[in-house]
Every structure is written in C-alpha cells, then in structure tokens.
Chains A and B, each alone.
Chain A
C-alpha cells in the first residue's frame, strides 16, 4: 500500500512514541529482585530497575516492588519505601531520595543551553501515610545546574496524581554523550543543608540549600512509607496519559543499564577454570561491571563440575558494550580445552552486568 493511501486514522496517537524520558516509570521491571531490607546507604536496590535510592544518615529502609497501585489506572506495580528504623533528629547533611539518572544523549531534544529550550512536565502517582510538602529536584551534571519544585500529599494513605512543570534552561548545555544527563530526584528526607535556602524554582547554579525547602521528614517514624508509580517526564507544559510500553520493550530499555545472563558456553581453559563469551541482550550504555549471583555448575557432558565457592569475573580487557569474556574459577578436575557448558538453572546462578549511571 502506498503511504498516501494509509488512513491517518490508523496512525493512532494512543500508541507509544517514547515521549517518557523516565525508563520503567510503571515499575514493571525488577531484575535485581523485588525487595531489599536494611538499606542505610546509597545503591540500586533489589527493587524496580533504573531507580536508585540515594541516602545518608536518614534511617533504615526497606525498598520493594509493591502491588499496591492506584485503582483503575492500568498499573501493576509501584515502588515502595518503608522506614524501618526512624531518624527523628536529622543531621544537617541527612538526605534520602529516590532518583533516576537520565542518559545525556536521551535528552538532547530538550535543547538546553539554547533559546529554544523546552519546558518539561513530570507526572506521577504517589501514596503515603505522611501528608505535607515534598520536593522533586532536577540536576544536570555537565554545568552543575538545578531546579526544584514541590508537591503536596494532601490525604494520608490515598493514591494521588501529581503534576509538576519545570521551566526550560536556556543556559546550561547537556553534553551529547552516554554520561549523566538529567537527574530526577524525589526527596523523602532532607536535612537543613538542603532546606535552609529559597527553593530554586528556576534553573540556577546548584545551591544545596535551595533543593528541598519545606520537605517533610519521612524518616521520623517506622510507620512511614511512600509508594510511587506512573512516573513520566515529557516535553511540554502539560502531562499526557502515562505511556505504557510492552513488557519486552520496557525490559530491553532497562537492559541498556543492567542485565542478567546465564546459559554459559565455553571451554575449560584450566583444570580449575571455565571461560565463556556472552553477547549482551542489547548493547549496554558503557563497558559494564560483572558479578555472579551464586555457585556455578557446568558440564562437559561427561561429568558435572561445581565451584567450591562463587567466582566469576570479566577477563581483563575483554569487555565491550556488546559482549564480555568471562572467567569462572574455583573449579577442580576439569579437562583442559574440553567444551563445557552451564547446567542452566542449577543454583539459579547467573551473572549480573551493570552499566548504570
């Protein structure tokens, strides 16, 4: 069919056009795991992909992928932060925030640093027992510039949809590369170092005191929790409906930053070592780090071999954004140069490849 004969009605505006700058905003993908307890320091938790929990001197937390969602909105999951050890007397430098760092080359169409810079609008669903003011602070690394706006949780234990529009930044240029582009930070806790100024409602050279003025302390009770889902950041001054992506598309987008691998095939390079090459499911943002989840079991179809303890590493220099050569030690009794493969599923062992921002 010629293009001219395709009815425009068929080009539905309801389809995905990747307008959401946030990846996994519906919290569907959770490759690392679904719950992490005892969090007191910053890391990517066993919770929905791409969301980092950044905290210091702000209590202890359990972070999880939750099935508590706003009714009738199409969401299956949210991300939940539950305070398990309170800190009612914050130090000046205390902070806790859920954040996603957007890759710089993904935000070039914001045209920051030019007179054509775009406004952006953040929308999300939130639920907490603790009502009051919360800050969402945006930060761009390349020029150290930031802007912040607040929202109010009005009703305890009730899902509410919030919308915040941020003015364009005509000054700071975001470099066109694979490094940090724009950090979207949802404050949960902020000490006076971050609350004692005047909220930066326009882009400015970042000043810590202007990031979270008025922010409540969500760490002041072990009854406190907050859930987020449906997070969307898009160009413009109004929020459109959340852009749901197919599960497989959402997974692939997350795998640019983190992916799990098993099904290793390779060779016994030594009687104690097994080497394998893995091609990534999708090219990764940068050369990733690697970590093994448990003890590996392999077979040369004659015998099975089990690691005495978990050991898996990148063979130095043998990693790119598309593939990695892995070396597994702590075996014994293997026959050199014999083709060897993983007993898939044994011990649920896999490698984790991490190229997060």
Chain B
C-alpha cells in the first residue's frame, strides 16, 4: 500500500517518488502502462494528494 507520493522534477521533466507502507521506495515514470503509476492514480482517486513543490529545491 502506498504511504506517500512526491513529484520529483529534473528541469521541466518529472517523475514520482513512491514510498510504500513496507518501506520500499520506487522511482516511477509518468506512464499509464506502468503498474506503479496505475497505483498512484488509484491512490489519488481515494482522496490522497501527491506532494508537489513545483520543482523548488
């Protein structure tokens, strides 16, 4: 189960840092065919929020 999701920027591109409740951490591309990204979408649909600092360091 997802514990948190943070949007990570590199220049104008981004992906997602996903931390699961078992402590595992994944770097996830913005790709609808990726199963972790599909889990992010479900997690957001459940009312959770992605942390997004807009790329500020």
Residues of A with Cβ closer than 8 Å to B?
A: 41, 43, 178-179, 285-291, 312-319, 327, 354-357
Knowing A316-B10, A355-B34, A357-B35, the reply to whether A291 touches B25 (Cβ < 8 A) is yes
Cβ–Cβ contact A286 & B33, under 8 A: yes
Which residues from A are CB-within-8-Å of B14? 316-317
Which residues from A are CB-within-8-Å of B26? 289-291, 354
Cβ–Cβ contact A289 & B10, under 8 A: no
Cβ–Cβ contact A354 & B36, under 8 A: yes
Which residues from B are CB-within-8-Å of A312? 27
Which of B1, B15, B22 is within 8 Å of A316, CB to CB? B15
CA distance A43 to B26 in the complex (A): 14
Residues of B with Cβ closer than 8 Å to A?
A: 1, 8-11, 13-15, 17-18, 22, 24-29, 31, 33-37
* Closest-CB distance, B42 to chain A (whole angstroms): 12
Cβ–Cβ contact A287 & B31, under 8 A: yes
Cβ–Cβ contact B27 & A289, under 8 A: yes
CA distance A52 to B35 in the complex (A): 13
Cβ–Cβ contact B33 & A179, under 8 A: yes
Cβ–Cβ contact A317 & B34, under 8 A: no
User: Which 10 residue pairs of A and B lie closest in terms of their CB atoms, listed nearest first?
Assistant: A317-B13, A313-B27, A286-B33, A316-B13, A316-B10, A287-B31, A316-B15, A314-B27, A289-B36, A287-B29
CA distance A179 to B37 in the complex (A): 13
Which residues from B are CB-within-8-Å of A289? 18, 26-29, 34-37
Knowing A313-B8, A315-B10, A316-B13, the reply to whether A291 touches B34 (Cβ < 8 A) is no
* Closest-CB distance, B2 to chain A (whole angstroms): 11
Q: What are 23 A-B residue pairs whose CB atoms fall within 8 Å in the complex?
A: A286-B33, A286-B34, A287-B29, A287-B34, A289-B28, A289-B34, A289-B35, A290-B26, A291-B27, A312-B27, A313-B8, A313-B27, A314-B27, A314-B29, A315-B13, A316-B15, A317-B10, A317-B29, A354-B26, A354-B35, A354-B36, A355-B34, A357-B35
Cβ–Cβ contact A313 & B17, under 8 A: yes
Which one of A289, A314, A327 has the greatest number of beta carbons of chain B within 10 Å? A289
Which residues from B are CB-within-8-Å of A285? 33
Residue of B nearest to A101 (CB): B35
Residue of A nearest to B33 (CB): A286
Which residues from A are CB-within-8-Å of B8? 313, 316
Residue of B nearest to A288 (CB): B34
CA distance A313 to B10 in the complex (A): 11
Which residues from A are CB-within-8-Å of B18? 289
Which residues from B are CB-within-8-Å of A319? 29
Which one of B8, B22, B35, B36 has the greatest number of beta carbons of chain A within 10 Å? B35
Residue of A nearest to B25 (CB): A291
Which residues from B are CB-within-8-Å of A41? 1
* Closest-CB distance, B9 to chain A (whole angstroms): 7
* Closest-CB distance, A329 to chain B (whole angstroms): 11
Which residues from A are CB-within-8-Å of B36? 289, 354
Which residues from A are CB-within-8-Å of B37? 289
CA distance A43 to B39 in the complex (A): 12
* Closest-CB distance, B47 to chain A (whole angstroms): 19
Cβ–Cβ contact A316 & B9, under 8 A: yes
Residue of B nearest to A291 (CB): B26
* Closest-CB distance, A309 to chain B (whole angstroms): 11
* Closest-CB distance, A100 to chain B (whole angstroms): 14
Which residues from B are CB-within-8-Å of A291? 24-27
CA distance A314 to B24 in the complex (A): 15
Cβ–Cβ contact A313 & B15, under 8 A: yes
